[in-house]
Amino acid sequence: MTGAREVNLDQCIKCSICTMFCPVAAVNPRFAGPKQCGPDMMRFTLEDPAAVYPGVHYCSNCKNCDLACPSGVRISVINQLAKARSGTAGRPGITGYLPARPDLAGKMASLWPGLVNRVLRWPLGRRLLEKSTGLASRAPLPPYAPLIFRKLLRRVKQNAAGKKVVYFPGCFVEYYRPATGLALVRILKENGYQVVVPGMHCCGLPLFSNGYLNKARRLAAANVQSLAEYALAGMSILTTCPSCYLSLKVEYGELLDVPGSEVVAEKVTDAVAFLANLAANGELAGNFQPVELKIGYHQPCHHKAAGIGIPALRLLKHIPALAVQDLAAGCCGMSGSYGLKRDRYPLAMAVGRELFRAVGETEVQMVVTECGMCGVQINHGTGVMVAHPVEIMAPMGWYGPATQN
């Protein structure tokens, strides 16, 4: 059991501010909200260890509750523990398990990505997929990349004498959008870094968000084992995905209680924050090309939860002619694979309403955001192209124009 129960529970003063800030509770009356499912119900587990509030699976683990709490309660952690107590929400068997394993799905799909993408675009294929896995046929599924990131990285000539940093690409970059990782590698290379990508698994967040706490713990332990030697050697571990960041930085210790995770956590750094820091110290090299665009920045919930502010807004100021506006319109609704599921697709779209509206009202030509699945949802809800901040920084066209879907 994590420290959440002992340290945190009694800090909750029942003010319900978390429920008011919960994007899911605002659109779904069947979800009682983070307070009731989390700290309220946790008290009952002292008598009945299996006590759980119905509907806890509607929690998307977006962590807006943690951000809202004036008393520092780790509400989302308590809710993930409740999900694990109640068992998994998905369908039984491998098909229900797949949405929690983007790495397995990606490994299979990348054997023949062209074919898989065609099946995913084919209406009958999507209906069959909905029947077998519960993924809504209307939901936006990003296409698999023709070649995975790791293979593309091998083609990049790196500076063997450079300072070394580790990069944790995460499933989205690995299987769907290698362009993000390659853009980062390019920027780092120009700054004299050599990027190391050790063998690693999915960060485990899709697993524990779906109630598979023990399975997530196994992946986490393997990742910690693989990354620890680099962390001990003093190397920074960069992430471009806010959810991977949060898992490695916080959840491995706080929720999953993985031994040795603190060694890795200390060196985990958001890649954009890393670059913004270089820039703040006047050390960022790079001949940034003018980008004549009006773009909107969307801060992913997990990025907000990291508490590191918005380094992208500072960093993108280095690009001539670029106009960036912080959309500041809250959760997109997708939450990883949450918004892909049949019964949650309408909820996710309702949650994203304010954000879609902000994209329309500000008339931005493009959206930048750190989270891949936020990008997929924004593109689905607005039709506007979405890219990761590092893709804007690496000269456009270098790896082809940044496109989504």
Our finding on whether 121 is near another protein (CB under 8 A) is no
Our finding on whether 343 is near another protein (CB under 8 A) is no
Report CA-CA distances (Å) from 255 to 81, 89, 123, 166, 169. Answer: 8, 19, 39, 24, 22
Q: Kindly tell me which residue out of 1, 29, 157, 287 binds another protein, with binding defined by CB under 8 A.
A: 29
Q: Kindly tell me which residue out of 44, 46, 72, 403 binds another protein, with binding defined by CB under 8 A.
A: 72
Q: Which one, of 204, 400, 379, lies nearest residue 298 by Cα?
A: 379
For another protein, which stretch binds (CB under 8 A), given 18-26, 118-126, 372-380, 395-403?
18-26
Our finding on whether 318 is near another protein (CB under 8 A) is no
Our finding on whether 304 is near another protein (CB under 8 A) is yes
CB-wise, 212 or 245, nearer to another protein? 245
For another protein, what does the binding mask look like between residues 30 and 69, x meaning CB under 8 A? x-xx--------------------------------xxxx
For another protein, which stretch binds (CB under 8 A), given 151-159, 168-176, 197-205, 306-314?
306-314
Our finding on whether 21 is near another protein (CB under 8 A) is yes
Report CA-CA distances (Å) from 405 to 12, 110, 294. Answer: 42, 17, 20
What gap in Å lies between CA 267 and CA 256, rounded to an integer? Answer: 18
CB-wise, 103 or 270, nearer to another protein? 270
Q: Which one, of 7, 37, 4, 34, lies nearest residue 21 by Cα?
A: 34
Q: How far is the CB of 113 from another protein (least distance, A)?
A: 35
Our finding on whether 314 is near another protein (CB under 8 A) is yes
Helix or strand (DSSP H, E) at 297: strand 294-297
Q: Kindly tell me which residue out of 4, 9, 12, 26 binds another protein, with binding defined by CB under 8 A.
A: 26
For another protein, which stretch binds (CB under 8 A), given 83-91, 172-180, 300-308, 386-394?
300-308
CB-wise, 145 or 295, nearer to another protein? 295
Site for another protein in 219-258 (CB under 8 A): 246, 249-250, 253
Our finding on whether 9 is near another protein (CB under 8 A) is no
Site for another protein in 271-290 (CB under 8 A): 277, 280-281
Helix or strand (DSSP H, E) at 154: helix 149-154
What gap in Å lies between CA 263 and CA 383, rounded to an integer? Answer: 42
Q: Tokens standing for 47?
A: 């008598």
CB-wise, 46 or 280, nearer to another protein? 280
Strand partners, 165: 195
Q: How far is the CB of 17 from another protein (least distance, A)?
A: 5
Which residues touch 113 (CB under 8 Å, ≥6 apart)?
A: 143, 144, 145, 146
Q: How far is the CB of 286 from another protein (least distance, A)?
A: 19
Q: Which one, of 230, 234, 236, lies nearest residue 165 by Cα?
A: 236
Cα 47 to the center of its chain, rounded Å: 35
Which residues touch 339 (CB under 8 Å, ≥6 apart)?
A: 60, 139, 333, 345, 347, 348, 349, 351, 352, 377
CB-wise, 182 or 258, nearer to another protein? 258
3-state SS string over 316-347? HHHCCCCEEEECCCCCCCCCCCHHHECCCHHH
Task: By CB under 8 A, name the binding residues for another protein.
Answer: 13, 15-17, 19-21, 25-30, 32-33, 66-72, 246, 249-250, 253, 262, 265-266, 277, 280-281, 304-310, 313-314, 326, 328, 350
